[in-house]
């Protein structure tokens, strides 16, 4: 049974009506530059970005695009995630126009292309003053570059200003979570309740506290806003892991790791899921990937040590455990290895034994299990 009337019975939105009216005018006056410009702008407002591009091409074939339309071409490309094309349109404007919005848009395109140094250059003080969206963008770029102190200082500097936005609070909450400032992360996440970052950080805090149902709800809300949100996807995978739905966890955590690309913690989380699901070969590939991405990541070596115990490679287990201990004396996966080696020395451990020990046995001085620790270290930037 249909739940809504057919499309033909739905009145067109105002933006859609304006587009169609302007297109009808162009049928009788196809070379009118003002009409082409108005129609392109109307198409953009109606989210008809391909049509916007076509109309701008028609204009450009008759006369060079003025700055406003060149900027519109850049915005249409950004809306379609065509970031190289956006920069092609925007970069000439940077040379001729002192405009904070243009610099922000170019910085955003550069950031999405992984050109973080260039993005930081564009996000100068003038851009931050003239474009409020530039502040959370710069915070995220600094975070990605590993400059967490600078990112947090920037966020705190603007958090109490009249330009502070939920997006700024969410980005700041994420950075604070990654420095284990959970109180600060909670404070700012609660001020960005309906943003992807705010929902995700609140989900991670719930997971850290053992509130699995609450965490799942928050991660799902975050993914409803952005289905490709890498951290929320990672959070759902960690919920699957905590609920011992390991086959589901492997797929979700692999997707998160591939979205995050160079995030060692995500690869390690995926490795644990594969180990618990009885696929040690896949687990080894992912632990080794995590160790390759971050040589200082103790839990990658600790995970390899646990895997070696499972495989009966005890000397290699001890070597990896020692590396993990040197990198982090409180490494929980190293503690798990030590516990497994101490019990029935010289015997391999089944996946079930390792799973029970990792998920249920307190390993740290604060009584935390390895599963609880995953909620923190899996999401931190390198």
The secondary structure of residue 343, as a DSSP letter, is S
Q: Does residue 368 or residue 7 have the better pLDDT?
A: 368
Residue with tokens 């410009």: 37
**Res 7: pLDDT:** 35
Q: Could you report the per-residue pLDDT of 33-68, keeping only the tens digit for each? A: 999 999 999 999 999 999 999 999 999 999 999 999
**Res 1: pLDDT:** 33
**Whether 36 contacts 63, CB under 8 Å:** no
**How far from each other are the two terminal CA atoms of the chain, in whole angstroms?**
51
Number of H helices, E strands in the chain: 23, 0
**Res 208: pLDDT:** 84
Q: Which long-range contacts (CB under 8 A, 24 or more apart) does 38-43 make?
A: 40/69, 40/72, 41/72, 42/15, 42/18, 43/19
Distances (CA, A) of 154 to 125, 139, 157, 326: 11, 7, 5, 33
**Res 80: pLDDT:** 94
Q: Does residue 1 or residue 181 have the better pLDDT?
A: 181
Residue with tokens 């966020």: 155
Burial state string for 68-104 with b = 16 or more CB within 10 A and e = fewer than 16: ebbbbbbbbbbeeebbebbbebbeebeeeeebbebbb
Cα–Cα distance measured from residue 97 to residue 163, given in angstroms and rounded to the nearest whole number = 24
Return the structure tokens found at 302: 């600790």
Q: Could you report the per-residue pLDDT of 294-323, keeping only the tens digit for each? A: 888 999 999 999 999 988 899 999 999 999
pTM of the shown model: 0.82
Q: Per-residue pLDDT for 28 more than 60? A: yes
Q: Could you report the per-residue pLDDT of 169-207, keeping only the tens digit for each? A: 999 999 999 888 999 999 999 999 789 999 999 999 998
Q: Could you report the per-residue pLDDT of 219-270, keeping only the tens digit for each? A: 999 999 999 889 999 999 999 988 889 999 999 999 999 988 888 889 999 9
Q: What are phi and psi of 197, to 5 degrees?
A: -65, -45
**Whether 311 contacts 348, CB under 8 Å:** yes
Cα–Cα distance measured from residue 43 to residue 37, given in angstroms and rounded to the nearest whole number = 10
Q: Per-residue pLDDT for 120 more than 80? A: yes
**Res 130: pLDDT:** 93
Return the structure tokens found at 172: 């700041």
Helix (H, G, I), strand (E, B) or coil at 1: coil
Q: Per-residue pLDDT for 8 more than 50? A: no
Helices (H), 97-245: 100-112, 116-122, 125-130, 134-144, 148-159, 166-178, 182-189, 196-208, 212-225, 230-242
Cα–Cα distance measured from residue 116 to residue 143, given in angstroms and rounded to the nearest whole number = 10
**Res 11: pLDDT:** 39
Q: Per-residue pLDDT for 96 more than 50? A: yes
In three state form, how does the secondary structure of 196-234 look?
Answer: HHHHHHHHHHHHHCCCHHHHHHHHHHHHHHCCCCHHHHH
**Res 379: pLDDT:** 61
Residue with tokens 């003080």: 125
Q: Per-residue pLDDT for 79 more than 90? A: yes
**Whether 270 contacts 380, CB under 8 Å:** no
Q: Per-residue pLDDT for 140 more than 80? A: yes
Q: Could you report the per-residue pLDDT of 329-370, keeping only the tens digit for each? A: 888 888 888 888 887 565 666 667 777 777 766 655 566 666
Q: Does residue 370 or residue 156 have the better pLDDT?
A: 156
């Amino acid at each position: 049974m249909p739940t809504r009337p057919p499309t033909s019975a739905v009145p067109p939105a105002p933006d859609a009506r304006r587009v169609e009216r302007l297109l009808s005018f162009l049928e009788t006056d196809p070379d009118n530059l003002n009409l082409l410009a108005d129609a392109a702008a109307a198409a953009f407002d109606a989210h008809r970005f391909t049509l916007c591009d076509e109309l701008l091409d028609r204009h450009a074939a008759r006369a060079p695009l003025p700055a406003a339309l060149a900027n519109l071409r850049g915005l249409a490309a950004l809306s379609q995630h065509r970031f190289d094309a956006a920069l092609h349109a925007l970069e000439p404007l940077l040379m001729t126009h002192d405009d904070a919005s243009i610099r922000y848009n170019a910085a955003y395109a550069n950031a999405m292309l992984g050109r973080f140094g260039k993005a930081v250059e564009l996000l100068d003080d003038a851009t931050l003053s003239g474009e409020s969206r530039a502040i959370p963008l710069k915070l995220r770029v600094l975070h990605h570059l590993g400059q967490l102190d600078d990112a947090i200082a920037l966020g705190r500097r603007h958090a109490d200003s009249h330009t502070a936005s939920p997006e700024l609070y969410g980005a700041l909450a994420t950075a604070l979570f990654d420095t284990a400032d959970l109180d600060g992360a909670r404070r700012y996440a609660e001020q960005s309740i309906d943003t992807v970052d705010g929902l995700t950080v609140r989900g991670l805090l719930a997971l850290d506290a053992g509130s699995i149902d609450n965490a799942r709800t928050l991660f799902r809300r975050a993914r409803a806003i952005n289905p490709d949100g890498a951290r929320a996807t990672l959070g759902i995978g960690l919920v699957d892991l905590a609920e011992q739905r390991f086959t589901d966890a492997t797929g979700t955590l692999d997707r998160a790791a591939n979205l995050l690309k160079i995030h060692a913690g995500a690869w390690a989380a995926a490795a644990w899921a594969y180990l618990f699901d009885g696929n040690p070969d896949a687990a080894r590939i992912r632990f080794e990937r995590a160790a390759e991405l971050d040589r200082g990541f103790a839990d990658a070596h600790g995970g390899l040590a646990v895997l070696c115990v499972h495989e009966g490679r005890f000397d290699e287990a001890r070597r990896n455990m020692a590396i993990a201990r040197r990198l982090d004396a409180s490494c929980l996966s190293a503690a798990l290895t030590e516990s497994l080696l101490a019990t029935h020395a010289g015997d391999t451990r089944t996946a079930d034994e390792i799973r029970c020990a990792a998920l249920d046995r307190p390993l740290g001085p604060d009584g935390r299990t390895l599963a609880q620790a995953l909620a923190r270290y899996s999401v931190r930037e390198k």
